[in-house]
């Protein structure tokens, strides 16, 4: 069979969750060596070694300045030989799609917390998701929480949605944190949060909870500022034991996670939270919210808290800092839990969906 893959997200320089999902899944699909051919549609030419070379892979680089998906990819599908199925790893389906389509919907956080998104972004996400639910042949949700949201908020039929969990970076593991600690001038004792600085991440409440902890523990916030980040930045800069690192290159993440006493992720909503799996892979205890997809991801391998309970979050942080046996238990369970999430498994299950739609 011949499948088309929207690869426009994989060439982004600073990848966050959606871009990482697209890149790793396309890599894993090519690595399966299945008896299929894949046409990859790029907006920008990929770096030479970004994706594995394969006789099954054909690249179509089709530059376009704006509205690439709706205009340029639509035109390509109308005028060029069509694959059996088109796969969109991020939920924006082309306006014109004269073939069966499969779309991954990652999360519907903008419906749960509309004030945490710019109005134009919120409207675009809502319209594009409604369009995908109506027009796509099949949907992939990357958690049961997202599947439930699609059914409840957009009335998507159950038989139109398949839950396929993303994988994790299997090269990420515990390392000596000293080089990264020296590079960023970090103290020996710190808590860590990794993610875009935005209201949905619940960072103002995290800062408030952290402020109740005694010295010498430091809170490190790693991630570039997002929408409505100004209050978060202001609150962090007022506290002498909070460090802002901005975006951290992927090469430094293992050291950053490995050096942390605990990883803290009190997000109000996550369709899928890559950072909690990354922290577990590096042997770091996890404290995270008990909302949306996070309980699915962590199982019994994290300390779950109500993200709206500031006092409860402080108490959870105190527990994980002061109870060595608890930390050891969480680390051991974390190593077991991450074995459930591999990109090879994600690719096999995704390919099964694409083959079913093509037939």
Task: Give me the residue label for tokens 């994980």.
Answer: 320
Average pLDDT, the chain: 95
- Number of structural domains (the chain) is 2
| 16 within domain boundaries | yes
pLDDT band at 118 (very low <50, low <70, confident <90, very high): confident
d(CA 290, CA 311): 15
126 with 203, same domain: the answer is no
283 with 302, same domain: the answer is yes
Q: Which domain holds residue 116?
A: 2-167+342-358
| 172 within domain boundaries | no
d(CA 184, CA 181): 6
Six token digits for residue 175: 């390392």
For residues 13 and 323, the model is more confident at 323
- Does the pLDDT of residue 148 top 90, yes or no? yes
- Does the pLDDT of residue 259 top 90, yes or no? yes
188 with 65, same domain: the answer is no
> 216 preceded by cis ω (within 30°)?
yes
- Does the pLDDT of residue 306 top 80, yes or no? yes
327 with 352, same domain: the answer is no
Six token digits for residue 17: 């969750």
25 with 160, same domain: the answer is yes
162 with 199, same domain: the answer is no
- Condensed to tens digits (0 to 9), the pLDDT of residues 1-48 reads 999 999 999 998 877 788 989 999 999 999 998 999 999 999 999 999
The CATH number covering residue 297 comes to 3.40.50.2000
CB distance 293 to 275 below 8 Å: no
What is the arithmetic mean of pLDDT over 157-179? 95
Six token digits for residue 130: 């409604």
Instruction: Please provide the distance, in angstroms rounded to a whole number, between the alpha carbons at the two ends of the chain.
Output: 10
- Condensed to tens digits (0 to 9), the pLDDT of residues 54-93 reads 899 999 999 999 999 999 999 999 999 999 999 999 878 9
Model pLDDT, residue 241: 97
CA angle 108, 111, 112 (to 5 degrees): 95
230 with 319, same domain: the answer is yes
| 173 within domain boundaries | no
126 with 221, same domain: the answer is no
CA angle 278, 284, 288 (to 5 degrees): 75
Six token digits for residue 268: 């109000």
| 199 within domain boundaries | yes
């Amino acid at each position: 069979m011949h499948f088309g893959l929207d690869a426009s997200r994989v060439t982004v320089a600073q990848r966050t969750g959606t871009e990482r999902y697209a890149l790793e899944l396309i890599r894993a699909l090519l690595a399966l060596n299945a008896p299929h051919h894949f046409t990859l549609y790029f907006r920008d030419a990929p770096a030479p070694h970004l994706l594995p070379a394969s006789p099954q892979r054909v690249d179509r680089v089709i530059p376009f300045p704006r509205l690439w998906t709706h205009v340029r990819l639509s035109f390509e599908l109308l005028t060029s030989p069509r694959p059996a199925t088109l796969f969109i790893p991020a939920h924006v389906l082309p306006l014109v799609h004269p073939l069966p389509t499969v779309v991954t919907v990652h999360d519907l956080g903008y419906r749960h917390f509309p004030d945490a998104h710019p109005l134009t972004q919120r409207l675009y996400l809502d319209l594009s998701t409604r369009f995908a639910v109506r027009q796509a042949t099949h949907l992939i949700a990357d958690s049961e929480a997202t599947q439930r949201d699609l059914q409840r908020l957009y009335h998507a039929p159950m038989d139109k949605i398949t839950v396929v969990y993303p994988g994790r970076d299997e090269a990420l593991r515990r390392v000596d944190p000293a080089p990264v600690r020296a590079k960023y001038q970090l103290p020996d004792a710190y808590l860590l949060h990794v993610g875009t600085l935005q209201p949905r991440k619940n960072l103002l409440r995290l800062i408030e909870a952290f402020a109740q902890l005694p010295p010498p523990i430091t809170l490190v916030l790693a991630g570039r500022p997002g929408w409505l980040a100004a209050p978060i930045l202001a609150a962090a800069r007022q506290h002498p034991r909070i460090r802002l690192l901005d975006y951290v290159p992927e090469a430094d993440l293992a050291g950053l996670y490995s050096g942390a006493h605990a990883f803290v992720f009190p997000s109000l909503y996550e369709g899928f939270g890559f950072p909690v799996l990354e922290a577990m892979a590096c042997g770091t205890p996890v404290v995270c919210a008990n909302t949306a997809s996070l309980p699915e991801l962590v199982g019994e391998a994290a300390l779950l808290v109500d993200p709206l309970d500031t006092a409860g979050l402080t108490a959870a942080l105190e527990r994980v800092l002061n109870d060595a046996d608890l930390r050891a238990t969480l680390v051991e369970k974390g190593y077991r839990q991450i074995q459930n999430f591999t990109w090879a498994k994600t690719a096999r299950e995704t390919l099964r969906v694409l083959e079913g739609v093509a037939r």
